[in-house]
Each structure stands twice: as C-alpha cells, then as structure tokens.
Chains A and B, each alone.
Chain A
Amino acid sequence: MVPRAVAAESIDERHGEKMSHARGSGGLGITRREAMRLGLSSAAGLLLAGRLSAADPAAATPPAPKGKAKAVIQIWLWGGPSHLDTFDPKPEAGYDYCGPFGKPIETHVKGIRISEWLPLLAQQADNYSIIRSMTHGINAHETAAYMVQTGRPPGGRQVFPGVGAVVSLFKGYDAGYRGLIPPYIVLTELQGRFAEAGFLGPRYQPFATGGDPARTPFAVEGIVAEGLSADRQKDRRELLHRLDGLKRAMQNDPQVTAADKAEDQAYDLILGDAGKVFDLAQEKDDLRDRYGRTTFGQACLVARRLVERGVPYVTINSKGWDTHKQHFQAMRQKLPEMDKGFATLLQDLADRHLLESTIVWWSGEFGRTPKVMWESPWNGGRGHYGKVFSAVLAGGGFRGGQVVGASDAKGEEVKERPVYPCDLIASVYEKLGIDPHAKLPNPQGLDVRVTPTPAEGVTLGGRLKEIM
C-alpha cells in the first residue's frame, strides 16, 4: 500500500507540470515544480495560489457556536478519490471523462445522482450532504492533505494542528474527558506527518491502533497482546514494581510521578474492561457482514463503537486512492468496500440515535483529473486534482439530502459556491461547539486562533450555512 502512494508522489513531482498543461488547466494548479521555475519557494508559490482565488473574507464572519455534535468520524481517503467516480458523476461529459463508469444512479433524494458503484450509499442520501465545490488548487499530496486537515496553507513559522488534534484539545482530557481510551484514535495507521498535532504537541497526537480489525482478535498495539495471559500480565507487573528501585527512591520527582501515572493508565487499558471496545466479537455476525469483512468495513464498525463510548474523534485512514494507473480496475474493488462500510455506518449510527451527535466527514486531500488519461504510461488513469473535488458531511446537526455548490459540466472547475477547506472545518467546529476564535496554546506565545483570520491571508468562502 505504501509503494503505491509513493509511486504516485513521484509521478506528481515529475509529471505534474505536464499533466496540468495537457489538461489545459493552469490557474490554481501550481505544482511545486512550476513554483520553483517561477523562482518561488514552494511555500510562496502556494500562498500565491491561495491569493489568486480572491474572495471576500468578510463574508465569513462566524456566528457564535451552538453545537450539539459530540464526536467526529473522519473517513480519510488517502491519495485522493475521484470526484467523478463517487459523488459528482458527469455522464454527459462522455467516455473521455467517465470511462466505463457512465451510468450513475438516482439516490433516495430526488435529483441527486451518485456513482453506480455506490448503491448502498444511494439509499442513505437523506442522511448526508455532498459538497461538490471543494477547492484549494493544490496538486501535491502532502501540501493538499495539510490544507484539507488544518484549513491553512503551509509555509509560515507554524505547523498547525489538524482537526483531530484541535478537537482533542477542546473535547479531550483538558475538557474533562475521562475515558480510558485516548480521545483521538486513528484506525489503523497514522497518515504520516499529516496526522501531526502540529505545535500543540504530542499530548494531542492521535493514538494509532495498528493491527487489523478484520482479523480476530483485533490486536490493538499496546492494548491487546496476543499470547500473554492475564495472570502473566499481573505477575510481570508485580515483578516490575518490586524491581523498580529508582522509582521508589525518587517518589517526589515530577518525571517519575508522570511516568507512574502513565503506567497506571496503561494498565487500566491492558487489564481493564475499556479495551473491550476493540473486541468486535461482541457484535452480531450479520451486522459485521453488513459492514463488510474488510479492514475498512470493520474499521467503520470500530469507529461506531468508539463514539458510542464517548471518544470524540476517530479517523479511519483508507489507503489506495491514488490511482494514476488502472484507475477503473482499482475502483471496481475499492468502491464496493467503501460503499458497504460507509453506508452501514450511517445506518447503524442512525438506528442507535448516534447520528444526530456524530459528524461523519468523508474526504481525501483532493479529487482526480476529470479527463481520463488514456495515453501511456497511464493507460486509463487519473491524476491529482485540487481545483475542484467533493466532500461528504453527515450527522452532528448537518442537514442531509443536500448538495452544496457545483462543479462545471466536466467537473473541471468550480461552477458555483467555492468551499475552501477552512470553511468546512469551521462548520465542523461550530457544530461541535468549538469557538472558532478561541486561542490555541502556542509554545512561542503567539496569538493563534482555531480558524484562520482574514489577516492571515487565507481565502474563505464562508461556512456551510446551506446545511447547518
């Protein structure tokens, strides 16, 4: 899975320029290489890209927070899913754009069509809204992922925290969260540097479960140890305590006290009941089947179990969406998995009356080139596309059954109502009751707010009032 993402990055690096020219789409799609050619550092290039898309920052004056959402499940499609082949189909654009996927289906909501590969999600359409005019103009994975998850362009002195870390700050231990399960969980692997808590530091970093929820047991790294009996766990701990002389000699040392407390917390999880949240054998077989017995499907089920127990932020990292080559073959395999897991999650949350307090956010770092690259070496692939892409929001007080914004006839440009990452993020914060003007604790003592101010030069399109 890693090599695939990697190969794609290199393709982006080396051919991004060629691809964007081939598509005749200049404008926002400044690649790193182009930025360098222009004599700009990539940071400056990106800033420029942001500025080119002028919008009235004043339009985004936020109302006071009034959220009733308690948790977020973020379904992250690492690599960038095609908007045309998921939530923004363009059958009228023809074979050059749709390839073999030219027959989108009507959903339960009249007038909304989605990909024919998402029949279960079609039945859930009243539970979610589609944003079809997401944009940031960046075609490099890392920078785009940073933009989508922090709402800010990179390049200043600060590395900003992602949404999960900010929610962990405002809804986690500092806000009275008492759960033994850490407040910010990633299923199953970190994204890499984009899951970083930025300047908030490791206290707000996610806990990555490792393991595979589709396997039994789901061996959550550190919590579920295979082949160690509870008796042996207890004996070992006793031995540790008897041998740990320095600890007793240094009882008043703050470092030792912190280590001690961390050990107690760890053992509460290892030996206590809290860790059972990861035991999917507690779920009915047919429900597990409905989610799909795949890593992604079962991760969706674990996510539901986590928010049910009060965990405020869960990220599901789904890999393999960076389909430069053999795109349609890959989609035939990935879309049904995603359809099953995501649709069952929405239904299951709704059945348990958890959907009204749980935001489900589906997005990748960008979309994919609408025009299929039939030529060699792509042979039916799609490249990176940050000019316009789709995101989905459900639950937590967001209205379902709506479409926000639109792309043009071929899915190449924003046609109306551009939505920038920070607009979506600010809307999520509002639903969670997080004050967008609250200060973030900054190690250098700088005045940094939860969402960017117009003075930071970040382009805003305004919150998603349409569905709030």
Chain B
Amino acid sequence: MKAAGILAIVLVAAHSAAGGPAAPTPSVAPPGGRNVPASESPIDQLVFGKLNQLDIQPADPCSDAVFVRRVHLDVIGTLPTPQEVKDFLKDNDPGKRRALIDRLLEREEFADYWAMKWSDILRVKAEFPINLWPNAAQAYHRWIRTSIRENKPYDRFVREMLTASGSNFRVPEVNFYRAVQNREPQGLAQAVALTFMGTRADLWPKERRAGLAAFFSQVGYKATAEWKEEIVFFDPGKAAPQAAAFPDGTSVRLSPDQDPREVFTHWLVDPKNPSFTRPIANRVWSWLMGRGIIQEPDDIRPDNPPANPELLAYLEKELVVGHYDLKHLYRLILNSRTYQLSSIPATRGPEAEANFAYYPLRQLEAEVLIDALCQITGTTEPYTSAIPEPLTYLPDGQRAIALPDGSITSSFLEMFGRPPRDTGLESERHNKMTADQRLHLLNSSHIQRKLQQARPLLALLRSGAGPREVVAGTYLLILSRYPTEAEWTTVAAYPRTGPAARRTALMDLAWALINSDEFLFRH
C-alpha cells in the first residue's frame, strides 16, 4: 500500500511538465522560444482571463510524453508508435510540439478519423433504419473523407451537400437527403438544423419549424433501372412551399422555378450568419477539448449560453477570416496552452470543468480503442456486414476508424459504445465504462488471444534485450512513455515461475497496462 502511494506521486509528477524522473528531456520550452505553450495565445488570454475572474487555478502544462500521446489520439485517432514517441521525446527543438501538430494534420489517418466523426453526425450507414445501401454509404463516406483530406473549406462542404442533386452512387453528397429516417420536409429540416446549426428543431415553435421545412418541400426521390440507385432532385411538381421563413424569422417569397434549397443555403452559408459559423466553431472546440463552449454542442438555444462568449466569438472570427479552413482552427486550438494543460486538475468542480481549467479525461472511442489494441498486438479484426447481399467483406488489416459504413458488424464496437448513427446526435456515442466492457478487456478470450499472439511483444522477448529494456519497450508500445523507476521495481518483483515465466510475466504486464486507466483514457 505504501509502495503504491509513492508510485502515484511519481506518476503525477511525470504527467505534468514540472519534471520528474520519467521525463528524459526538459519538457518546458525556454521563455521566448517558438513553442506556443510558452506564450499565451488569444485563446489562452480568454480562457485564463476567465479562470482568473473565477479564481480558478488552471492545471500545470502537460509533459511531452503526455502531449505526444494525447495529440496523436486527438488529431489522428491513432496511438503513436514507440519510435515516434522516442523521437519526439529526444527532440530538443523548442518548436517540436507545433511541428508535430503540423505533421499530424497532414497524415492519412487525419482524414480517416475525422471522416469517422463526420460520418457519425451525417449518419453514414447502409442499413436499418437509415438504409443508405452499401454502395451509397461507401460513396458518401469516400466523398466525406476526400473533402477532409483536401481540406475543403467548410462552407463549400456544406453547400455541396445542401444543394446536391443526382444519383446516390454518382453524386455521393446527395446522400445527405437520404441519410434520414424521415424524408418528409419536416424530417429533412430537422436534420439540417441539427447537423449544420447545432440545434434541435423538434423543440422549436411550430411555425418556425414549418418555415424551415418549406425549403425542403420540393426534394424529390426517384428510383432508376439500376438496383438501389436513387436520384435526389428538385421536383417543382411537388406542392409549392408554403410560408417559407428562415430560422431567424425572415419570411421569404420563393419563385416557382427556383430550388428552395438554394435559397436556404444562400442564407445559411454566409459569414455574417452566426447560426452557421458558431455551431462549427463550437463543435471543433468540443471535439478537441472534450466539451463545447456551448454544451452539448448540438443543443444550441437561447437558454443554453456559452460558458465563455468571447472565446467562442474569437473562434468564429478566426474561422471567417480563414475562409472556413477548419485546419486553421485545429492549429489554433492544439497549439494553445489551454489544450496543452495537464488532465490532473489544480482546481476541481463543475466551473473549472466548464471553463477548461484542465484537459478532461475521456475514454477512448470504441474504434480508436480497438485500433490501438490491434496496433499494440500486431493483430487485425475481421470487419464484415452480413446483411444485405452482396456481403461486405473489408480487407484484412482494415482499421476501425476508417470503416466506411456504420452497419459493419462488430460486437466489440457495439459493446464499447459506437454510435448507431440513427439520429446524428453527438450523444449517440457512449463513452462511459460499463461492467460488460470491463469484463471483456479483463477476461475475454478475444483480448487474451490478441495478447498471446502479440508479435511486437514476442519480438521484444526474442530480441535478446535485458529485462529493463523489455519493460521499457512494453511501456512505450502501450502507454507511449518510459516506465518510472518505481514501476520498474514493481514489474521486476512480479512473481512468475515455470518454463515460460518471462513470457507469462510479459503477457501479464501488457494485460495490466491495457487495463490501466492511463491506457483506456485520453489524458
């Protein structure tokens, strides 16, 4: 018990940049260096100013070892490799955090991971109850991923979806209008309001809801001779929209030859329209910081004010100035001291949390977790979809963050809270530990088998390295850091006997580390 107490203290020290035996390189940038954490960005001035007013002490800056893991998970949904960790830790460039952020934003996994997030809220799913059909889901996913990879400005991304007409296979963005459970004008209006305005139109007064729905009353759907192909189009033959009005209350006269979606999109996608810029600025912040300035990020309404209005206004301004370049926003946030705070709070409580006084712990998403487990153990998962035929089989080595379709069968992803993609609400994703999840990680044959087959671990054993190096290698592989001296002592004392003692001990160490909170959470 006593030993455990000491260990805890060591770890706390290792977590923050204040130093400690685990940090092999100095991790605080020298004053005046190029590293942003050394100086305050406008984001930091706004966050720390507010914390100061509230008399809340922010957490310490996080250490390099924490940063390298965190930023990989947050930006590319992927654990850093041991080599990436080692290289980063021994790099003496004071600007290395900024440089790493820039590199990560250009990785292929960036597109994979953010396409996954967007596919959640855009409901990219072949089957029930969205029923896009596999070809269309995959085309839609590819369009989203390509848009992200090319860093398509956000305003264009939205405009292309909202005004799209054509075949679900050939003009993939039309699937926005198919990926809804309710294709009536009201249902489409709700999807548009939720996705792009971050607001729940089902709670609006009736007239306001009807005013928005009117813009979607001439969306037509028709089948073609090709199996499951569907054309989405402007259908002037449908009843002319009644009493169209923008959500801000302005009523509109629509001319009969004009696609009302164009009129609405013109109103929505406008730098001067805060109901367009605010939701996306807030969403990006919440994705990276674990909490919206307006929380929930898709429940914006007058009686749910932002925790820090100036901060949100600043992000909105930057987005407009940067012509809706979302990566610009990512850079600003990731390089801020605020983002780089330790997750061990100096002050606790709901106010500290709501004002970003520390980096909040979050359980790894299901997809990120299984990918990390596969990476650590050098194993793969089979991803298939049994319904409908033709069956979908994804190639061996498919990563979960890159799955093109929310219908792909995986009991692991189900159990660990993958969103069903039924409604597009962010709250569909469940990131709270359950007893079932614990049982699975602690004691299932699935995880046990992965560990037993773990080539990277077995390679460490066979490499002829000494026990200290093997343990260090295991820590780098799983926790993306070196072990502390106290941890080494604990591991060395772990009692295992018999012919396969070393192997058993290593398996148990790896098992313990993947079951530790430090692995299971972003921190």
Footprint of B on A, CB under 8 Å?
2-3, 5-7, 9-10, 13, 36-37, 39, 41-44, 141-143, 146, 154-157, 159, 182, 190, 192-193, 196, 201-203, 205, 207-208, 210, 219, 221-223, 225-226, 228, 232-233, 235-236, 239-250, 252-253, 255-256, 258-259, 262-263, 265-267, 269-270, 443-446
Contacts and interface: CB of A to CB of B under 8 A. Distances in A.
A82 B257 CA distance: 54
A245 B117 CA distance: 31
B487 interface: yes
Contacts of B221: 39, 41
A252 B348 contact: yes
Given A157-B423, A159-B422, A222-B439, A44 B521 contact: no
B8 A249 contact: yes
26 contacts: A6-B387, A10-B389, A43-B131, A142-B127, A146-B128, A146-B129, A155-B129, A157-B202, A159-B129, A159-B423, A190-B411, A192-B386, A193-B127, A193-B420, A203-B434, A222-B443, A233-B443, A235-B495, A242-B7, A244-B515, A244-B516, A246-B11, A246-B523, A247-B516, A253-B361, A443-B427
A13 B202 contact: no
Looking at B363, B433, B439, B440, the one whose CB has the most chain A CB atoms below 10 A away is B439
Contacts of B361: 250, 253, 255-256
B182 A157 contact: yes
B437 interface: yes
Contacts of B512: 236, 239-240, 243-244
Contact of A222 (B183, B363, B436, B494): B436
A443 B523 CA distance: 27
Contact of B445 (A39, A154, A219, A255): A219
Contacts of A6: 386-389, 391
Contacts of A154: 128-129, 181
B487 A243 contact: yes
Contacts of A265: 435, 438
A193 B128 CA distance: 8
Nearest to B514: A240
Nearest to B422: A159
B509 interface: yes
Nearest to A222: B439
B239 to A, nearest CB: 15
B91 interface: no
A276 to B, nearest CB: 15
B209 interface: no
B433 A258 contact: yes
Nearest to A252: B348
Which 10 A-B residue pairs are closest in the complex by CB-CB distance?
A10-B389, A245-B11, A222-B439, A248-B8, A266-B438, A246-B518, A262-B438, A240-B512, A265-B435, A259-B433
Contacts of B513: 243
A221 B448 CA distance: 11
B31 interface: no
Contacts of B516: 240, 243-247
Contacts of B487: 243, 245
Contact of A245 (B8, B127, B409): B8
Nearest to A227: B448
Contacts of B433: 255, 258-259, 262
Given A154-B128, A182-B435, A266-B442, A236 B511 contact: yes
A403 B445 CA distance: 45
Interface string B404-443: 0001010100110100101101010010111111111011
B132 to A, nearest CB: 12
B411 to A, nearest CB: 6
A43 B182 contact: yes
B10 interface: yes
Contact of A256 (B129, B415, B517): B517
A37 B490 CA distance: 68
Looking at A221, A225, A226, A446, the one whose CB has the most chain B CB atoms below 10 A away is A221
Contacts of A193: 127-128, 407, 420
A192 B387 contact: yes
Contact of A9 (B7, B10, B388, B407): B388
B500 to A, nearest CB: 12
Contacts of B203: 445
Nearest to B299: A444
A155 B388 contact: no
Given A219-B445, A246-B11, A443-B425, A270 B439 contact: yes
Interface in B287-343: 343
Given A142-B128, A143-B128, A259 B517 contact: yes
B103 interface: no
Contacts of A226: 445
B386 A5 contact: yes
Contact of B442 (A143, A157, A263, A444): A263
Interface in B342-368: 343-344, 348, 361-363
A246 B490 contact: no
Nearest to A194: B128
B442 A270 contact: yes
A330 B99 CA distance: 64
A153 to B, nearest CB: 10
Nearest to A443: B427
Contact of A246 (B5, B129, B420, B517): B517
Contacts of A42: 131
A167 B362 CA distance: 30
Contacts of A253: 361
Nearest to B475: A243
A9 B387 contact: yes
A266 to B, nearest CB: 4
A232 B440 contact: no
B272 interface: no
Contacts of A223: 439, 443
Contacts of B411: 190, 208
A95 to B, nearest CB: 31
Given A222-B442, A235-B508, A262-B433, A444 B389 contact: no
B153 to A, nearest CB: 31
B443 A266 contact: yes
A222 B443 CA distance: 4
Nearest to B230: A36
Nearest to A245: B11
B181 A262 contact: no
A444 to B, nearest CB: 7
A121 B200 CA distance: 53
A396 B216 CA distance: 50
Contacts of B521: 246, 255-256
Nearest to B190: A157
Given A225-B445, A235-B508, A243 B490 contact: yes
A251 to B, nearest CB: 9
Looking at A13, A207, A245, A265, the one whose CB has the most chain B CB atoms below 10 A away is A245
Contacts of A9: 387-389
Contacts of A267: 442
